[in-house]
Chains A and B, each alone.
Chain A
């Protein structure tokens, strides 16, 4: 009995202490709800949110989420945020649909709800912030290749599967803007099915079929690593530059070796920062409606489309100067 009472008293004491520190000032409370705690990507987003809070001055960030990536866990978290009467909830959802009833309730009680990264169905939020958009991604991946090829040259695309919606859209967008990059000649598109071994073999095939190949664009995190490895193993570092979309933690080694000069992916710090800024803007009366432009501090503004969705920015470029730092995050 003593043991339990003791532990309970300690808990209560800790709780009271936490309470006391949280109670002062009339700060705007913005809750950053993530898929699960303990994920590097989201910890980085929190870093961005804290940066935004510091910049704004009168904002308190509540960084929270369930222990595992379940919708039920997120609903419990949302219920407790409703009870605390936070001013805004910015959520990266574990489930597009299941959070809708809980978030609707939050909005009924005057809380501004936005989603970011992983969206919520339209009726459950005021707006959704995508990290980027298909046109921006399509442009970025060919720009990355072109930036390292001032004289132009042959480039090939290593995609995921032939039916992958995301990749197909990005490649289509890339081809639309291809004319802006003089001398860049896209010679082939092959499919690695997001399998490491198949992507590796397809890359080997490209290297053999196109002796003048200068760059491989892989807009998939599996493909880009496999392609970089294949280029390394073929001794083509310096001749063929691998670029596209990848994760810093997986690509750090290949950037160091020179197989990849640069690649891109969203920056989670910017994402957390922008979500916070948008939530603040909406708390202060900005209306989230199609065509509206919401303020994102140093990230500029975001324009909402017909679904009240907006794209934050170009994918963020990682190269030798910053990849090590971000490799620790995600």
Chain B
């Protein structure tokens, strides 16, 4: 077996080809996993199947999932953004700073999103403008953005957010459906359409599969990538608004370590970490799975470290499975 056989060279599309079948079975697999976890949780704890409890549980993943959608596109294009959690911290710090000057909710939202966009633009410019590797750039900006919030805040906290600001992280649209969950659903649809139904989405796949070929086919690689980092920054800003609103305060350690959880979510969702393939429905399922595992284990008071081990095992199995499956099929064919 050679390396060439393993790496997919066709541009995967959900509707055709062998790659498509593989992807389909992957999502089918995730659905099975999600169902098993759901049923397992329902049997394991009498508290799981309660609308309000399930609603509370969605807060475990909605903010991370918002970023995961944009991150999925970035990873499919063959890049990565590790600065997202630090963008949350910086955007939150900026909003908290503005509160001290009496800015109201609409202004705070604008500031949160604006800081996200600016941070995304900084990443995008360094990566596409100077041609630096995204993993290096975003490791750098990861320290930079959070470092700035540490300089502003030190060991202090910003509090005193206006009452109306609390709605983003604590408000409900209808019955048990929180604003965050509604936003999650809305963004899932929007990113699904963007990735799977538009030229932009096709370009993302093309870049991830073969950047040079994409360039010679007339795809404006730099511009698409810049847009992707801008989008990730924007999503981090949005997540920052929700998280800050939910916590009602800002500390520089806010969302510490989230970048890895977001990447885990994306990879668990079946996005190839080397780029070129993956789907939004997969990421949605991964978000639900991670949320349910965290909450279900929480209900049983399983220590957090066991949850991390479980997520890690799940990740490795889900990634190893298609490869093993492929090998087995090839062996059978001969």
Contacts and interface: CB of A to CB of B under 8 A. Distances in A.
Contacts of B299: 80, 83-84
Q: What class of interface size applies to chain A in its complex with B?
A: 35 or more
A22, A67, A79, A96 — most chain B CB neighbours (10 Å): A79
A15 B301 CA distance: 10
Give 5 nearest A-B pairs by CB, closest first.
A80-B298, A15-B44, A97-B249, A67-B304, A12-B40
Interface stretch (B129-137, B180-188, B307-315): B307-315
A7 interface: yes
5 contacts: A4-B33, A15-B40, A19-B300, A97-B251, A100-B249
Interface of A: 1, 3-5, 7-8, 11-12, 15-16, 18-19, 22, 37-38, 62, 64-68, 70-73, 75-77, 79-80, 82-85, 95-98, 100-101
Contacts of A70: 253, 256-257
B305 A37 contact: yes
A19 B298 contact: no
Interface of B: 29, 32-33, 36-37, 39-41, 43-45, 47-48, 50, 53, 56-57, 59-60, 157, 159, 166, 169-170, 243, 246-249, 251, 253-257, 294-296, 298-305, 307-308, 310, 313-314, 317-318, 321
A95 B249 contact: yes
A76 B60 contact: yes
A100 B248 contact: yes
A250 to B, nearest CB: 23
Nearest to B43: A16
Contact of B170 (A3, A65, A73, A101): A101
A65 B169 CA distance: 22
Contact of B166 (A5, A15, A76, A101): A101
A3 B313 CA distance: 10
Nearest to B247: A98
Contacts of B303: 37, 64, 67
A79 B61 CA distance: 13
A163 B243 CA distance: 34
Given A7-B313, A15-B41, A101-B246, 17 more contacts: A1-B32, A8-B36, A11-B40, A12-B36, A62-B301, A64-B303, A71-B254, A76-B295, A80-B295, A80-B299, A82-B53, A82-B56, A83-B47, A84-B45, A95-B157, A98-B254, A101-B170
B251 A37 contact: no
Nearest to B157: A97
Nearest to A5: B36
Contacts of A71: 247, 251, 253-254
Nearest to B256: A70
B29, B169, B170, B249 — most chain A CB neighbours (10 Å): B249
Contacts of A19: 44-45, 300
Contact of B29 (A1, A67, A76, A96): A1
A18 B43 contact: no
A19 B317 CA distance: 26
A246 to B, nearest CB: 23
A306 B253 CA distance: 31
Given A1-B321, A4-B33, A83-B53, A12 B248 contact: no
Contacts of A82: 53, 56
Nearest to B249: A97
Contacts of A85: 47
Contact of A18 (B47, B298, B300): B300
Contacts of B308: 67
A1 B317 CA distance: 9
Nearest to A20: B44
Contacts of A11: 40, 310
Nearest to A70: B256
Contacts of B321: 1, 3-4
Contacts of B53: 82-83
Contact of A8 (B33, B60, B157): B33
A28 to B, nearest CB: 16
Nearest to A15: B44
Contact of B249 (A64, A66, A98): A98
B285 to A, nearest CB: 14
A15 B300 contact: yes
Nearest to A2: B321
B247 A97 contact: yes
A75 to B, nearest CB: 8
Contacts of A37: 303-305
A80 B292 CA distance: 11
A95 B294 CA distance: 21
A45 to B, nearest CB: 16
A98 B318 contact: no
Contacts of B50: 83
A75 B246 CA distance: 10
A37 B251 CA distance: 22
B247 A18 contact: no
A37 B57 CA distance: 21
Contact of B298 (A1, A8, A77): A77
